[in-house]
Chains A and B, each alone.
Chain A
Amino acid sequence: MPAPIRLRELIRTIRTARTQAEEREMIQKECAAIRSSFREEDNTYRCRNVAKLLYMHMLGYPAHFGQLECLKLIASQKFTDKRIGYLGAMLLLDERQDVHLLMTNCIKNDLNHSTQFVQGLALCTLGCMGSSEMCRDLAGEVEKLLKTSNSYLRKKAALCAVHVIRKVPELMEMFLPATKNLLNEKNHGVLHTSVVLLTEMCERSPDMLAHFRKLVPQLVRILKNLIMSGYSPEHDVSGISDPFLQVRILRLLRILGRNDDDSSEAMNDILAQVATNTETSKNVGNAILYETVLTIMDIKSESGLRVLAINILGRFLLNNDKNIRYVALTSLLKTVQTDHNAVQRHRSTIVDCLKDLDVSIKRRAMELSFALVNGNNIRGMMKELLYFLDSCEPEFKADCASGIFLAAEKYAPSKRWHIDTIMRVLTTAGSYVRDDAVPNLIQLITNSVEMHAYTVQRLYKAILGDYSQQPLVQVAAWCIGEYGDLLVSGQCEEEEPIQVTEDEVLDILESVLISNMSTSVTRGYALTAIMKLSTRFTCTVNRIKKVVSIYGSSIDVELQQRAVEYNALFKKYDHMRSALLERMPVMEKVTTNGPTEIVQTNGETEPAPLETKPPPSGPQPTSQANDLLDLLGGNDITPVIPTAPTSKPASAGGELLDLLGDINLTGAPATAPTPAPVPQISQPSFLLDGLSSQPLFNDIASGIPSITAYSKNGLKIEFTFERSNTNPSVTVITIQASNSTELDMTDFVFQAAVPKTFQLQLLSPSSSIVPAFNTGTITQVIKVLNPQKQQLRMRIKLTYNHKGSAMQDLAEVNNFPPQSWQ
């Protein structure tokens, strides 16, 4: 067989291929040749063949049949062979391949080879793709090489050690003695890799961290030398000496100085020096400044230094390079909580960034703007934000709208301004407003009693022209239903009252009902609004009766049910109608941070008040929900918004209604002071069942085995189940979290997500600390609605602080007993 062609020729041949098919053909031919050559156990040309194979692998063709050949090459005595063999190993073999362990012995021998380059190759490969078994076997050799005086090997050994520690954290202790004089080296390569090694050790173990704190003075000295020393051609990048090393040292200093006053003090000077002396004309300089700023903000620096850092960020914001601006915005976002005033100074620059063309920058600027809004700047900021809402990309609109609502709620200078702002958002970005904002807005409007007339007038005018934006139409329909009388009587004080007749109002509501653009929910709102107007309007009651009776045969079950019930009201219970459809009372403001689900009822429902539990501490429910969505990659699981049970008087049925979202109830007694349920309304809808005064879950279906949903690192979470007798689709899960380690777990947050066919409600936990040694538990209740009786699955996310570090874990719970969901 003729000698196999050289790599270079192969490359040349392939490059002449004009089509993909031609190239494939060439590759296949060559592969066949290589395969037969391998079969012949040809030692001379193995190296060349594998090289070609690697090239083909680079192009994307399968090359797994070369794995064993790589091993043979590694075992060979020739340096060339070893080189290609190791390269092949790094590209073709990873710890998932069964054969990789065969390398271990070769690597062990090569680690002790007489030629440093062979040793280097071995270190390289081990450090790149060594599995935990390999690392365990060879850690000793690596540790030996870490102590060598050969700087070429030492630096590779250091990085290899980093890999070993990452794979097998228990071995970290072993490398400790070798680190003693790593920093005394002059060689930058060794210094750099040593700093990486120290960083890795400090990040993983608080004991190591404490141990290495004494290195701070030495690190400061090294950094100082780098800055002060003159031009050094070997390490220079655009006039700065070894920026890579500088950045690494700064990062290690950050870790060492965190939460430690002495260390922080020791590095104050050098940080100030770096911050002021570094050239900012090139990216390198800015990279160093960026790292410096991150360090200053993270350690216990004095306020002067912090202001310096924020000013650097402010300067970054004005930089032409958008990468720098992006980095500045990101960092400011991190610091805005702690150094609020300093960041406020740069507010106008930040607001300008809202107009930037780059999407990433806009998003950052938007988040930062919301963080900076306060009572003083609310008017100005809102103007900018509304303008931004108008012109931004659709992906931003939902977040922006929610942010504006929140900001307006917190800082509105006047009720009128607040309502105007809401109106503006609804009309500008009406279709992007989140569904849960609608109940919030309605509650807000109810509370601004003196603005009712103004509000309803503005809303009416808004939907007159265009009723396609659902949230806007929903809010408008609700208001018209409530305050239609004010609208018709022209009582508006704030602006010029308009002349509207009852028929015109009904016209618009009916158009909403008929329109194809209206969703089912919107239609529900409209129908109920029309019904309410029957007590507020005087001349058009017959018209209303007619409309309501038409929808009694609607295909939409929701509408049909409502219409039938309203019809019943007209026919049989007309005497109760006015009481039932009375004006809504002012809803109590709920003190949770995020969107709450407000039960929409016409009049008061059964007031068996829920116990008022304190609102959940920790991040806002929306951001938690977003976190979960991010975690789950946005696949088909709906996140849970943990809500505190509201402090409004609502019946136990209120919770069930929360589960089912906004549903208008009718037929409930209207007045709060008379809590007697209405027995005459006996329509067997499960909605009305919820209004009965008995607690829903008094009949506990006993005998459902409890499960251990999660058990790891000393944290155990058990689920116990209860089923409701009255509603077979509801399962109540009580979780109990216990901690068997010797230290408490604090700031414990439990989150859960279920597939789309389920609905979940998470109530407040009993506390956020899981005491050690199983001395106590955290209890939390989850309610799951499973109308389709599908198999229950759940993903949970746990975050807590333990032994001084933040822990986080995700798990899937699949072992739900069938009795819990069937």
Chain B
Amino acid sequence: MQFMLLFSRQGKLRLQKWYVPLSNKEKKKITRELVQTVLARKPKMCSFLEWRDLKIVYKRYASLYFCCAIEDQDNELITLEIIHRYKAYFILDEFLLGGEVQETSKKNVLKAIEQADLLQEKTQNMYHSKSFIGCKKAY
């Protein structure tokens, strides 16, 4: 996977994870273009499109679009599954965000390890995509 973007129906970028080194300017350009292209698609259209020399797989969950850019030889359908998996953990993440942040001030190593255990579960599944990190939201 080359990158993953999450954006709202209004076109506001919620999350971006890049697995290829690109300048900020390029990233912004790509994001803008892609957001435009995906938002312009009608609901009944298929979830894959060709863009530059990459394949884009996107899925819409309520008001949020999950968009992955994969290479030519990657399997589109399994990418959809990855997005589906990720969605579940994203929600969990939001959960944890609140939980962890609260603890920042009084956190100690033991607590960290507890969180890390949960994270381990998540990241194990993150690794199932071609990228390896997924969103390790270590707050």
Contact = CB atoms under 8 A, between A and B. Distances in A.
A87 B137 contact: yes
A120 B124 CA distance: 12
A51 B104 contact: yes
Contact of A360 (B13, B48, B53): B48
Contact of B101 (A51, A87, A284): A51
B115 to A, nearest CB: 9
A357 B48 contact: no
Q: How large is the interface on A (under 10, 10 to 19, 20 to 34, 35 or more residues)?
A: 35 or more
Contact of A83 (B105, B127, B138): B138
A287 B77 contact: yes
A243 interface: yes
A60 B13 contact: yes
Nearest to B82: A244
Given A6-B105, A117-B112, A128-B132, A284 B81 contact: yes
Contacts of B105: 6, 48
B87 interface: no
Interface stretch (A29-37, A322-330, A469-477): A322-330
Contact of A244 (B13, B49, B128): B128
A8 interface: yes
Contacts of B76: 290, 323, 327
Contacts of B139: 7, 51, 83-84, 87
B62 to A, nearest CB: 18
Nearest to B28: A60
B46 A128 contact: no
Interface string A145-157: 0000000100110
A460 B76 CA distance: 51
Contact of A322 (B46, B77, B123): B46
Interface in B71-86: 75-78, 80-82, 85
A80 B104 contact: yes
Q: How large is the interface on B (under 10, 10 to 19, 20 to 34, 35 or more residues)?
A: 35 or more
Contacts of A192: 127-128
Nearest to A152: B120
Interface in B25-51: 44-50
Given A6-B104, A8-B101, A360 B127 contact: no
A326 B50 CA distance: 12
A287 B13 contact: no
A755 B124 CA distance: 50
Contact of A80 (B46, B85, B107, B128): B107
Interface in A615-650: 630, 633
Contacts, number: 141
A527 B47 CA distance: 52
Given A244-B82, A283-B81, A360 B104 contact: no
A243 B78 contact: yes
A160 interface: yes
Contacts of B44: 322, 357-358
A196 B104 contact: no
Interface in A162-201: 162-163, 188-189, 192-193, 196
A283 B132 contact: no
A279 interface: no
A286 B78 CA distance: 9
B130 interface: yes
Contacts of B107: 80
Contacts of B50: 360
Interface string A122-148: 001001110000000000000000000
A96 B18 CA distance: 14
A333 interface: no
B138 A127 contact: no
Given A6-B105, A7-B104, 7 more contacts: A8-B101, A124-B123, A192-B128, A244-B129, A245-B128, A360-B49, A630-B53
9 contacts: A79-B109, A124-B136, A156-B127, A162-B132, A196-B130, A243-B81, A322-B45, A322-B46, A326-B48
Interface of A: 6-8, 47-48, 51, 58, 60, 78-80, 83-84, 86-87, 90, 94-96, 115, 117, 120-121, 124, 127-129, 152, 155-156, 159-160, 162-163, 188-189, 192-193, 196, 237, 243-245, 247, 251, 283-284, 286-288, 290-291, 294, 322-327, 357-361, 630, 633
